[in-house]
Amino acid sequence: MQEQLKIACIQSDLIWENPKKNRKLFSEKIKTITEEVDVIVLPEMFSTGFTMNASKVAETMEGETVAWMQKKADKTGSAIVGSLIVLENDKFYNRLIFAEPSGDLHYYDKRHTFTLADEDRVYKAGHKKLIVEYRGWKLCPLICYDLRFPVWSRNVEEYDVLLYVANWPKPRIQAWDILLKARAIENMCYCIGVNRIGMDEAQNEYSGNSAVYDILGNPITSLKPNREQIEIAILDKKHIGFYRNKLKFLSDRDHFNLE
């Protein structure tokens, strides 16, 4: 078990509906990470942007982008995390992939599809929460709109890290900032949010505001809005243990069933 986990957050613009160019873009960015890290986090739909043209750019789990993630994980020794459009059993999913250096793959299908953009009409919602046990840490990866729904992200699994990948637009970025901090505080965990920047073909603008918060809701990164950046955050198990033992807020959770 590692006492510390090093997370590289890549805040980047995306090339619209062009998986090949986006893979090249992120290959170049990953090359610039010169120190060893445990996890490299990319934005939501990092290979295409947040498009509803799923049939044009969807891939299978045996496709080039998943294979690219596995190759990068093997080469860097870091897990690679991000979501992409996956076609499976004639249905489209906004699927987060957690690719380990060992070759193991974990995936999570976005539960809360974004009705405001008709994502629910194009993509099938997932119903299974994912907890990844990796290098002695328990991580719960989620996608963008999931951030607005605290019951789904509720820490009943004693996870250490909540991780959101996103294409969260600039007009509602204040909600992103506040809710990331709230999820960290209420779940007594580190909370990571990696969002894209730039303008997409649907004329949605994104400012990034990627961040990592500790258990108390304090930011431990300093990524700037509207700027392509890579920042490495160091998470510490002692921080989690100290405050959970001292404050014990998770012991007072309400008990209910999610339907």
- In this predicted model, what pLDDT tens digit does every residue of 242-253 receive, in sequence order? 999 999 999 999
44 is catalytic: yes
CB atoms near residue 7 (< 10 Å)? 26
Per the annotation, the verdict on 129 as an active-site residue is no
Out of 9, 17, 29, 44, the active site residue is 44
Give 190's strand partners.
161
For 49-93, write each residue's pLDDT tens digit. 999 999 999 999 999 999 999 999 999 999 999 999 999 999 999
Catalytic residue, chosen from 59, 72, 100, 110, is 110
Could you report the per-residue pLDDT of 186-204, keeping only the tens digit for each?
A: 999 999 999 999 999 999 9
In this prediction, residue 178 has a pLDDT band, given cuts at 50, 70 and 90, of very high
pLDDT of residue 259 exceeding 90: no
Instruction: Please state the rounded mean pLDDT for residues 143-168.
Output: 98
The proportion of the chain whose per-residue pLDDT surpasses 70, expressed as a percent, equals 100
CATH class name, domain 4-251: alpha beta
Q: How far apart are CA 195 and CA 165, in angstroms?
A: 6
- Position 256 scores a pLDDT of 86
Q: Where are the domains of the chain?
A: 4-251
Q: Which residue is catalytic, options 9, 140, 144, 191? A: 144
Q: Is 144 a catalytic residue?
A: yes
- pTM to 2 decimals? 0.97
What lies within 8 Å, CB to CB, of 208 at 6+ separation is 11, 195, 196, 197, 223, 224, 225, 226, 227, 229
